[in-house]
Amino acid sequence: MMKKSEISEKVKAIVTIQQTVLGGLVSGALDGITDLTGKSLLLEIVSDELDPHPLSETKGLSFYVPRDEAFGEKKQTQFVATTASSGFDAISQSINSVLTDLSLVFSSFDDINMLFKDGFTIPQNEGNGGLLQTIVQSVSDSTQLLRFETPETFKRDRFFWFSDEEFARQTLAGVNPYSIKLVKEWPLRSKLDPQIYGSPDAAITREVIEQQINGYNTVEEAIEEKKLFMLDYHDLLLPFVAKVRELEGTTLYGSRTLFFLTSHGTLKPLAIELTRPPINGKPQWKQVFTPSGYSTNLWLWRLAKAHVLAHDSGYHELVSHWLRTHCSVEPYIIATHRQLSTMHPIYRLLHPHLRYTMEINALARQILISGSGIIEISFSPKKYSMEISSAAYDQEWQFDLQALPSDLIHRGMAVEDPNAPHGLTLTIQDYPFANDGLLIWDALKSWITDYVSHFYPNPTLIASDPELQSWWSEIRTVGHADKQHFPWWPSLQTPTDLIQILTTIAWVASAHHAAVNFAQYAYGGYFPNRPAIARTKMPSEDPTEEEWERFVNEPEKALLECFPSQIQATVVMAVLNLLSDHSPDEEYLGDFVEAAWGESEVVKEAFERFQGRLKEIEGIIDSRNRDSELKNRNGVGILPYELMKPFSGPGVTGKGIPYSISI
């Protein structure tokens, strides 16, 4: 173990340099110290030097994580090697000084394509030029050149992102399959206060829809036949539009996007509605955009899609990903350690599902979701990103709806059917995420049922287990104190209750996270497919003559200016590449038996059945991906859906379900 006196010489020069430069130097020092305790001492010394006055407050170089939640030495070493974790701190503290022009756009699509061929030259600053490389070591092949691996989607079809059909398909088989929902009511109306946000009536009228739904005379018929679906970011985003529009280099709308279920089982985009509330003395503005062969409308449609994709990217990252997995799992982790002994059977069952999450969340708070972090720099809501995540928690999050079957039913994507597999009938039969996810859900539930039945043979043991009851009470009343009185919380009195609660937690930590994480680079690595930010308003929103003429003469330039800037795009691409990467020591669902599970022959046999079922599921998914009738996962240029395949090798593979949220 290194002593403070041995480390102090390493940081002697650091304390005289600006804090924005400090992160990169400390990261370099950390790279040279393999002993974990030595690294902690180094950070302690630096923190002391950065906080010379007891009343001053400075952002530290690390977030405290309890030792039993931190990465083990092997995991830490691997994480540094594969994700350049020490560089995350450098970029979070130095990004403004490293990058010269945050607004510089790509001049053409050829320039974007060059990211995968010739690479992107990283801007340099005197004395601090190499800091950006530390975050992108895995995709950089020189000190100045950033070259990206071509995403699998782009390899298969370089024009995949341009297709309306692919735009729709990705709502079912892409990186965010949690937002698409059935349209159940007509007309569409906002629930927001019309005195503040303007007319609640949607601009998408029956005339707009009925012109495009072949074979159906009315919208009501299409709704009755469950043919209309929607991405609805209207009411969540509209309250933030005025605030976001005060920020430089971004814009925002409330949005609705409607789709029609075709006879082929695929979705067809019908219309996009973008809404701006009354703002700066101007009345509410809303417009509907539809697919069109007319050139002006076609380019407006493309720009409207870019806005919706930015909304979907933000919702995916802030809600489907951060809020519903990383964030919501933390109360389970804390309560498990505080209320269950390490010998408790439920602690032993949950432990692999909760491993490393606090550490990865600390890193996320440090460089991704922090003030002026990567999310705030690169996504449309900018500094209001976490406020939107909080609003979504307040409006949408329910524990019971984190269970996959309940989530599907709630969104209208399935109905209960005791005679159907999984007890559900899907509204869209070819819904790859749901089809494969239900296989994993049932396998998890069967394994947990066997486990609970072994340790609680008498149902009364659950209600009388003080540790278990305290655990569930803390999750509800402390971890989610502001929601503790809602009636949707399950009670914990019977084995059925416990099995449902545990399956939900295990699902969120494993398969839910895998579904929204490991395809991020495949679908977001070519950023026009999923721009993280829309930086300019629609050309048709209160245009000046000059603005409209510029759009008419240079529509491609208008689209490129709406897309992320060079810096925003490349930083997000680098992060998505790293987050999509499996480390060689990944611990996959069902891949190994915990030592505690092997102590009982009954539990060991139950786990082996679980393991065998997961291997069967791999084969089922492969078979589905070969079925040409399943057009949402099979076809020319289409990426097969493999996110629910339990096992994977290392790297960016687009498959594999780790036990826990470890990246």
Alpha-carbon torsion (563, 566, 570, 571), positive or negative: negative
Order of all β-strands in the sheet with 228-232: 181-182, 228-232, 254-261, 267-276, 285-289
Q: What is the distance between the alpha carbons of residues 580 and 576, in angstroms, rounded to a whole number? A: 6
- Output the pLDDT for position 366: 86
| Other Cβ atoms closer than 10 A to 207 | 8
Residue 97, pLDDT score = 41
Summarize pLDDT for 568-620 with one digit per residue, the tens.
998 899 899 989 999 888 999 999 888 889 899 999 999 999 999 999 999 99
**425-462 tens-digit pLDDT:** 999 999 999 999 999 999 999 999 999 999 999 999 99
Instruction: Please state the domain extents for the chain.
Output: 325-527+580-652
* Structure-token pair, residue 392: 């979504």
- Residue by residue, what is the 3-state secondary structure of 493-559? CCHHHHHHHHHHHHHHHHHHHHHHHCCHHHHHCCHHHCCCCCCCCCCCCCCCHHHHHHHHHCHHHHH
Q: How far apart are CA 51 and CA 44, in angstroms?
A: 11
pLDDT for position 401: 98
Residue with token string 């993280």: 532
- State how far the Cα of 245 lies from the Cα of 248, in Å rounded to an integer: 7
Contacts 24+ apart (CB under 8 A), 383-391: 383/247, 384/240, 384/243, 384/244, 385/314, 385/318, 386/318, 387/240, 388/236, 388/237, 388/240, 388/314, 388/318, 388/319, 389/318, 389/319, 389/322, 389/323, 389/327, 391/236, 391/239, 391/240
Find the catalytic residue in 234, 307, 316, 321: 321
Alpha carbon distance 303, 511 (integer Å): 33
% pLDDT > 70, the chain? 82
Q: What is the pLDDT of residue 598?
A: 87
Q: What average pLDDT does the chain have?
A: 86
Q: Is the pLDDT of residue 281 over 70?
A: yes
Percent of the chain as helix, strand, coil, to the nearest 5: 55, 5, 40
Closest to 448 (Cα-Cα) out of 489, 358, 509:
509
Is the per-residue pLDDT at 469 higher than 70? Answer: yes
pLDDT at residue 95, rounded to an integer: 47
Whether the per-residue pLDDT at 9 is higher than 50: the answer is no
Q: What is the pLDDT of residue 25?
A: 33
Q: Please report which helix (H) or strand (E) contains residue 267, including its range.
A: strand 267-276
**Is there a contact between 270 and 258 (Cβ–Cβ < 8 Å)?**
yes
Active-site annotation holds for 512: no
Unique residue bearing structure tokens 């720099």: 377
The neighbouring-strand residues paired with 287 are 274
Question: pLDDT per residue over 140-152, tens digit each?
Answer: 444 456 678 999 9
What three-state secondary structure class fits 424? strand
Q: What are the structure tokens assigned to 243, written together? A: 């605030």
Return the residue matching tokens 């009364």: 460
- Per-residue pLDDT at 285 exceeds 90: yes
Q: Which CA distances in Å does 102 have to 105, 141, 557, 572?
A: 9, 23, 18, 13
Strand partners, 255: 274
* Gap between the terminal Cα atoms of the chain: 28
- Token output for 448: 């947990």
Catalytic residue among 346, 374, 428, 663: 663
Strand partners, 429: none
From the list 316, 353, 512, 513, the catalytic residue is 513
pLDDT digits (tens, 9 = 90+) for 374-388: 999 999 999 999 999
Predicted confidence band of residue 23 (pLDDT cuts 50, 70, 90): very low
pLDDT higher at 8 or 58: 58
pLDDT of residue 55: 55
The question of whether 517 is a catalytic residue gets the answer yes
Residues pairing with 261 in the sheet: 267
Q: What is the pLDDT of residue 5?
A: 42
Please tell me the least confidently modeled range out of 33-37, 200-204, 363-367, 461-465.
33-37
Q: Report residue 612: phi and psi, to 5°.
A: -65, -40
Task: Please give the CATH number for the structural domain made up of 325-527+580-652.
Answer: 1.20.245.10
What value does the mean pLDDT take over residues 178-207? Answer: 97
What's the CA angle centered on 309, arms 306 and 313, to 5 degrees? 140
Give the integer Cα–Cα distance in Å for 242 and 49.
41
Per-residue tokens: 378: 């690169």
**Over 50: is that where the pLDDT of 29 sits?**
no
Q: Do residues 327 and 390 make contact, with C-beta atoms less than 8 angstroms apart?
A: no
Q: Amino acid letter at 52?
A: P
Per-residue model confidence (pLDDT) at position 263:
94
What whole-number distance in Å separates Cα of residue 591 and Cα of residue 614?
9
Cα angle at 474 between 470 and 475, to 5 degrees? 120
Please provide the DSSP assignment of 77-108 as one string.
Answer: HHHHHHH-HHHHHHHHHHHHHH-S-TTPPPS-
**CB-hemisphere CA count at 13 Å for 266?**
18
How confident is the model at residue 306, as a pLDDT? 98
* Residue 125 parent element (H or E): none
Whether residue 120 is predicted with pLDDT greater than 90 in this model: the reply is: no
Q: Indicate the Cα dihedral angle 475, 481, 483, 488, nearest 10°.
A: 30
Neighbours of 283 (CB within 10 A): 10
DSSP structure class, residue 327? I
Q: What is the pLDDT of residues 528-575, one digit of tens each?
A: 999 999 999 999 999 999 999 999 999 999 999 999 999 899 889 989
* pLDDT surpasses 70 at 6: no
Name the nearest CA neighbour of 310 among 561, 106, 563, 579.
Answer: 563
Sequence length of the chain is: 663
Alpha-carbon dihedral of residues 490, 493, 498, 504, nearest 10 degrees? 0
pLDDT at site 124: 53
Token duo for residue 540: 């048709």
State whether residue 591 is helix, strand or coil.
coil
Cα separation of 502 and 444, whole Å? 9
Question: How far is Cα of residue 16 from the mean position of the Cα atoms in its chain?
Answer: 39
Q: Which of the pair, 519 or 123, is modelled with greater confidence?
A: 519
Report whether 517 contacts 510 (CB < 8 A): no
Catalytic annotation present for 513? yes
* Residues above pLDDT 90, as percent of the chain: 74
Q: Give residues with Cβ within 8 angstroms of 159, minimum separation 6.
A: none
Q: Which of 176, 361, 517, 577 is catalytic?
A: 517
Ranges of H-type helices in 261-320: 295-315
Question: Of 425, 503, 499, nearest to 459 (Cα)?
Answer: 499
Catalytic residue among 234, 307, 316, 326: 326
Q: Would you state the pLDDT for residue 14?
A: 29
The SS3 assignment for 381 reads coil
- Is the pLDDT assigned to residue 131 strictly greater than 70? no
pLDDT in tens, 90-117: 444 434 444 456 788 999 999 999 988 8
DSSP, res 412: T
Q: Which of 128, 67, 135 is nearest to 96 (CA)?
A: 128
Phi, psi of 142 (to 5 degrees): -160, 180
Dist CA 30 CA 42 (whole Å): 8
Which tops the pLDDT comparison, 72 or 257? 257
Sign of CA dihedral 434, 440, 441, 443: positive
d(CA 453, CA 451): 5
pLDDT score, position 239: 98
Nearest partner of 497 among 455, 454, 452, judged by Cα:
452
